[in-house]
Structure 1
Amino acid sequence: MEELIINYTPTGMVPMKSDNPHVPLSVQEIIEDVHQAYEVGITLVHLHARHPQTFEPDFRLEVYGPILEGVRRHCPDLVCGVSLSGRNFNEFKKRSEPLQLYPDLASLTLSSLNFSRQASVNAPEMVQELLHAIYAHGAQPELEVFDLGMMNYAHYLIRKGWLKQPLYFNLLFGNIASMQPRFSHLAAVVEELPAGAWYAFAGIGDSQLPVHLMAIASGAGIRVGLEDNLYFDVRRKQLASNLDLLRRVHQLAAMAERPVMTSVTFGEAGFYNTHRVKSIRHEHAN
C-alpha cells in the first residue's frame, strides 16, 4: 500500500487552553509536543507561533525562532513548516517574516475564504508575492486548498511558471464555507490535482475522523492535530490531545497496512529547505 504522509498540526491560530487544556501554546510546550509526536511517527509538522503572554497568533522571529530551533534540535530530519496565514496579519512584511528562519515549508492559502467567525484574506498579489518569497528563501509552499477555485488558481500559477514541482497540497474539508467531507467533493478536487502532486486530507472539527478514514482508504495523506479538531469523539464528550489523535491515525494506518512515510523520504523528494539539505545528509552519514 502507498506510504501515508502524516502532517502534524499541534497548535493552530485559534485554540486556547480554555477550549482544550492539552493544546500546546508556549514555546517549550510546542517543542515537547512535536518531539513526542516525532517519536510516535510523523512526516512533517505545521507550526504556529503564539505570543508568550497573550497566546494570540504571533509572526515574530523572536517567537518563531526558538520553536523551530528546538524542534530541529530534537527532530533533526523532520520537515518543518511555518504558517504565513492572513487571518490575523495582512501586511506582507509580517506574513513573510518567518521565512527568514529558512523553514522547509511555508503555508500558502490560494485564495480568500470565510471561516465560521473570521475571514482569511489572500489577495492575488499577496499570494504571488508570498510564493516568490518562499522560493527565494529555499523553501517550498505548503499549498492550502479549500475549494475548486483555489485548485484552479494553482493551475494558473503553474501555467505562469511561478509554481513549480515538487508540489504538496493540504486539501481541507468541513469548513462551513468550503468543501465538505463528501465523496463527491473529495473526488472532484483530487481529480484536479496537478500530475505528480503530493497531498493530504484535513478534516475540520467533526469532519476529522470521517476524512481520515476516507484518506486511509483512498491513498491520500492525513493532516492531524488540535489545530483542526479539539475532540476525540464526534459527540464532543472527550477532549483530545494531539497524541490521542496521532495514535488513532497510526491505528487506522496499521489496519489498512499503510506504512507511515518517513520525514527523510518526504524531505529528500524536494521538501527540505535547500539551505539545510547538506547538513541533514551529513548527520545521517555520521
Structure 2
Amino acid sequence: MVDLSNKVMLTIAPVGGYPTKKNNPAVPIDPSEITADIIACAEAGASIAHIHVRDDEGKASMRYDQFKKVVDTVRPKSNIVINLTTSGGTGWPDDVRIKPFVELHPEVASYDCGTMNWQNSCIFENNPQFLEKLGTELQKQEVKPEIECFDPGMIYNAIDLQKRGFLPQGSLHFQLVLGVKGGIAATVDNLVWMHSILPKDCTWGAVAVGKGQLPILYTTLAMGGHLRVGMEDNVMMHKGILAKSNVEFVERAIRLIHEFGKEVATPDEARKILGVKNKTKEILGK
C-alpha cells in the first residue's frame, strides 16, 4: 500500500473567469489553449485540473460545448483528475451550471458554498435552493464536490448542508479561497482560523488570489493542506514579473512541495485521497 499521508494534491487552475491576455499574454482563452495548458501541466506533474471556459469573446462562460471540447481533448491524452467549475461567471440558470458535470462525468466539480459580493462588481449568487439542488445532483452523478469557501460562514454552510443530506456523508473536500474582494483577506491568521473550524475528517486545500498567493501557499503546505496554482488566481510569478506559462506555476509548486519533504500526488493517488473513481478510465474503457 502506498502511504498517502505525505502526498500533496496539486491542482492547476489555468484560466478562471476573469484574467485576460491584457493581464498576461500567456493566459489561455480558447479551448485549444486551455487544453494545451492542462496537458502540459499534467506532464509537469499536476494532479488535478480545475477547468473554466470562455465564450467566443473571451468572457466567462458556462457553455457546455466549450467544456466538452476541453474535456474530450484532455482525457485521451492525460490521466489528470477532471474538476469542472459550476460558476463560470454570473447570472447563469441553475440547469446551465449543472449540465457540464452531468454530461461529462468529471471526478470533481466546484461547490461555492454561499452568496457574496464579488470584486466590487457583482453579486456571486449561490442561494440555498441552488446549493441544495447542486448537492443533490452531484451525489446522484457520483461527482465529488470541491467545497469552495470564501469566508468562514461558508464552512458552516457546508456542515449544515451535509447534516441535511445535501452534501455526501463522510469526508468532505474543502478549498479555502482567500484574497477575493468581498471575501476574507489573504492573511496567514485568517487561513489558520478557517482551518481551525473545518470538520476534523475532511481533506482541504487553500489558495490566495494575487499578492497573498505565496504566503498562503507556504502556510498551507506547513499545515498539511493541498495546493492550487495557476492563472485563474495569479498572473504574476513574482512582483512585477509576469508568469511565462501555467507550467511555471506548477514547477515552482513542485519544488516547494519537495523542499517541504513531501511528494506530489499522482492523479490516481489524488483519486484515492478524494475517494473517487477514475472516470477517465471508465469512459475510455481502459
TM-score, scaled relative to structure 1: 0.91
The 2-side partners of 1:43 and 1:90 are apart by: 29
How far off is 1:277 after superposition? 5.9
Question: Given the alignment of the two structures, is residue 94 of structure 1 paired with residue 96 of structure 2, yes or no?
Answer: yes
The 1-side partners of 2:156 and 2:113 are apart by: 9
2:264 equivalent among 255, 260, 263: 260
How far off is 1:212 after superposition? 0.8
How far off is 1:278 after superposition? 4.5
Q: Deviations over 1:117-148 (max 9, x none)?
A: 33311111111111111222221111100111
Question: Given the alignment of the two structures, is residue 41 of structure 1 paired with residue 45 of structure 2, yes or no?
Answer: yes
Question: Given the alignment of the two structures, is residue 185 of structure 1 paired with residue 185 of structure 2, yes or no?
Answer: no
1-10 vs 248-257, which moves further:
1-10
Does structure 1 retain, via aligned residues, the 8 Å contact 2:85–2:109? yes
Does structure 2 retain, via aligned residues, the 8 Å contact 1:27–1:66? yes
**2:264 alignment partner, SS class:** coil
2:113 equivalent among 100, 110, 120: 110
Change (3 A) 1:255 1:276: closer
Does structure 2 retain, via aligned residues, the 8 Å contact 1:86–1:121? no
Does structure 2 retain, via aligned residues, the 8 Å contact 1:7–1:200? no
Change (3 A) 1:14 1:160: same
How far off is 1:240 after superposition? 4.5
Question: Given the alignment of the two structures, is residue 215 of structure 1 paired with residue 220 of structure 2, yes or no?
Answer: yes
Please tell me the root mean square deviation across aligned C-alpha atoms, in Å: 2.0
How far off is 1:79 after superposition? 1.1
1:58 equivalent among 56, 61, 67: 61
Instruction: State the match for 2:252 in structure 1.
Output: 248
- Which structure 2 segments of 5+ residues have no match? none
Does structure 2 retain, via aligned residues, the 8 Å contact 1:61–1:98? yes
Does structure 1 retain, via aligned residues, the 8 Å contact 2:60–2:88? no
The 1-side partners of 2:15 and 2:195 are apart by: 27
Change (3 A) 1:103 1:279: closer
Q: Deviations over 1:164-191 (max 9, x none)?
A: 2342111011122222232321122111
Question: Given the alignment of the two structures, is residue 202 of structure 1 paired with residue 204 of structure 2, yes or no?
Answer: no
How far off is 1:273 after superposition? 5.2
1:142 equivalent among 133, 146, 152: 146
The 2-side partners of 1:79 and 1:122 are apart by: 25
Alignment of 1:24-39 (within 5 A): 24-39=28-43
For 1:187, give the aligned amino acid: V
**2:146 alignment partner, SS class:** strand
Does structure 2 retain, via aligned residues, the 8 Å contact 1:139–1:274? no
Change (3 A) 1:158 1:251: same
1:73 equivalent among 63, 72, 76: 76
How far off is 1:104 after superposition? 1.3
- Which structure 1 segments of 5+ residues have no match? none
Change (3 A) 1:215 1:3: same
**2:49 alignment partner, SS class:** strand
Task: Report the identity percentage.
Answer: 24
61-70 vs 180-189, which moves further:
180-189
Displaced runs of 4+ in structure 1, greater than 6 A? none
1:85 equivalent among 84, 87, 90: 87
Does structure 1 retain, via aligned residues, the 8 Å contact 2:106–2:279? no
How far off is 1:239 after superposition? 4.1
The 2-side partners of 1:130 and 1:146 are apart by: 18
Alignment of 1:128-167 (within 5 A): 128-164=132-168, 165-167=170-172
The 2-side partners of 1:79 and 1:87 are apart by: 23
